[in-house]
Structure 1
Amino acid sequence: MKGNTKKPIQVVRTWVRRQPPKVKVFLAFTIAIAALIFIRMVVYDHDNLFIAAEAVHALGISVLIYKLATEKTCAGLSLKSQELTAIFLGSRLYCSVVMEYDVHTLLDLATLAATIWVIYMMRFNLNASYMLEKDNVPNYYVVIPCAVLSLVVHPTTQHHIINRILWAFCVYLEAVSVLPQLRVMQNTKIVEPFTAHYVFALGVARFLSCAHWILQVLDTRGGLLTALGYGLWPSMVLLSEIVQTFILADFCYYYVQSVMGGQLVLRLPSGVV
């Protein structure tokens, strides 16, 4: 009976695995649209999606804290990604305090504190297990383009120019802050469970955040874009959310496939992430 239950799942997995990349992209797009429709039907206040995204991100950080505290190793984790996360969270926390103090401010403060703790543990207590040679994406490769872009394209609201530039900077940096972590996993090809859970949590958080913006735009019939400002900025906000989601989509696919197959350790094929 148990074998018969698993058989349909195995058939689907095998069929999907054999499809060309274009078909996989189409399937992923179809599933994403279906998920958006479902969320729109069951979630009445779409602002809750953004709170849920931040909560899932915090949950992912909690998984890292558990890993570091119990296994006493930071192997497979990217210190550079954690540093980039702390930078964009710090920038967003500042913007939140001076521009729109609300519940998001408290969530960002808690997540930033947890991220700083992870950085401290990786730099000092567990430095011997840190895979420096695998974590080989310099932070300035990510920070400088985001900083330059934020100077060129930022909100056109009534806030101070420095606050508007920082707001844009944290949006752009958040979109690509996971790249060093993906590079570490690409270099190792084998991802242990806690790291996989953390990155999958980031993927879910990014999808929820992206869904929040898309559904808000639909609900306001584009009015939200005008509220964000004029020019390229509203489009860049949406583009950043979509980029974040698609950067992690490939990994999340293999994560789900691994979990469905009952594997604890995720093995990535060549070309993934």
Structure 2
Amino acid sequence: MTLVLFLYAAIEDHDSIFILAETVHFSGIGCLACKLIGERDCNCLSLKTQELTATFLAVRLYCSFVMEYDIHTFLDLMTLAATVWVVYTMRTTLRKTYNDQLDDLHVVYILVPCTLAAVMAHPTTSHACINRILWAACVYIEAISVLPQLRLMQKVKTVEHFTANYVFALGVARFLSCAHWVLQMFDGQSYLSTAVGSGLWPMMVLLSEIVQTFILADFCYYYILSFAEGSRVVRLPAGIV
């Protein structure tokens, strides 16, 4: 909350916080590019999380084209292109270094509940119903898309620095995204009602942002702790996920 209040006071245009969140996410994928190109392996990296990330980015990009079309569309396009490259590289040239036995959280356990939740709670704006459901689905998928990555890291216990930097960047991006939505309420504007509709949906958006922030909170704590100790790896205790 202290950081949220700092952002509220330091940044006048709070919509720029969401742009910053997307930029941080893109920079995190840059860490993965350094790992895949420099080290030529995808050890400790979850293909399931990358595929889920590509899924919600593709859906969000489609929704941006038909519902908003602004700077977020361009940022999503760059992030999606980078994520697709990561997925392609893991599935082809670096396939032998990928351990699918550790990355065992099936995406169906994430996609099905998120789709059902989107059918029940989605925006009440004037757009086509299918587009509103897709928008809701990508919000819910984004909230928990990192779970396969966290589960994999829980098993290996020691996370090398490129992957750790990527997951930490995700944590920062998720916090900034959550702060963006929280500050919309502090602003006293009608943004939530005009942009996402009314009813259950605005609360589900805020809940999703809070969930995806706190999912990564433990890892970010141990990342900062390892950084303060001068370690190049992050060591995780049992039960972090």
Q: Which residue of the partner structure matches residue 174 of structure 2?
A: 206
Equivalent position amino acid for 1:76 in 2: C
Aligned equivalents of 1:120 and 1:229: distance in 2?
37
1:207-229: CA deviation from partner (whole Å, max 9, x where unpaired): 001111101111025x3332221
State which structure, 1 or 2, has the greater radius of gyration over its C-alpha atoms. 1
Is contact 2:184-2:192 (8 Å) kept?
no
Q: How far has the Cα of 1:268 moved from its partner? A: 0.5
Aligned equivalents of 1:103 and 1:145: distance in 2?
30
| Higher relative contact order (CA closer than 8 Å, sequence separation 6+) | 2
Q: Which residue of the partner structure matches residue 47 of structure 2?
A: 79
Aligned sequence identity (%): 60
Q: How far has the Cα of 1:231 moved from its partner? A: 1.4
Query: Matches of residues 163-182 of structure 1 in structure 2 within 5 Å?
Result: 163-182=131-150
Aligned equivalents of 2:37 and 2:174: distance in 1?
26
Aligned equivalents of 2:122 and 2:232: distance in 1?
43
Aligned equivalents of 1:129 and 1:215: distance in 2?
43
Q: Which residue of the partner structure matches residue 239 of structure 1?
A: 207
For residue 191 of structure 2, the aligned residue among 221, 224, 244 is: 224
SS at match of 1:137: coil
Aligned equivalents of 1:68 and 1:171: distance in 2?
28
For residue 258 of structure 1, the aligned residue among 226, 231, 234 is: 226
Q: Which residue of the partner structure matches residue 28 of structure 1?
A: none
Query: Matches of residues 1-273 of structure 1 in structure 2 within 5 Å?
Result: 33-220=1-188, 223-227=190-194, 228-273=196-241
Q: How far has the Cα of 1:37 moved from its partner? A: 1.1
List alignment gaps of at least 5 residues for structure 1.
1-32
1:238-270: CA deviation from partner (whole Å, max 9, x where unpaired): 100000100000100000000001011111011
- State the superposition RMSD in angstroms: 0.8
| Aligned length in residues | 240
SS at match of 1:125: coil
1:27-55: CA deviation from partner (whole Å, max 9, x where unpaired): xxxxxx11111111111110110000000
Is contact 2:125-2:197 (8 Å) kept?
yes
Task: Report the TM-score when normalising by structure 1.
Answer: 0.87
List alignment gaps of at least 5 residues for structure 2.
none
Q: How far has the Cα of 1:180 moved from its partner? A: 0.3
Q: Which residue of the partner structure matches residue 11 of structure 1?
A: none
Aligned equivalents of 1:157 and 1:185: distance in 2?
39
1:86-117: CA deviation from partner (whole Å, max 9, x where unpaired): 00000000000001011100100000000000
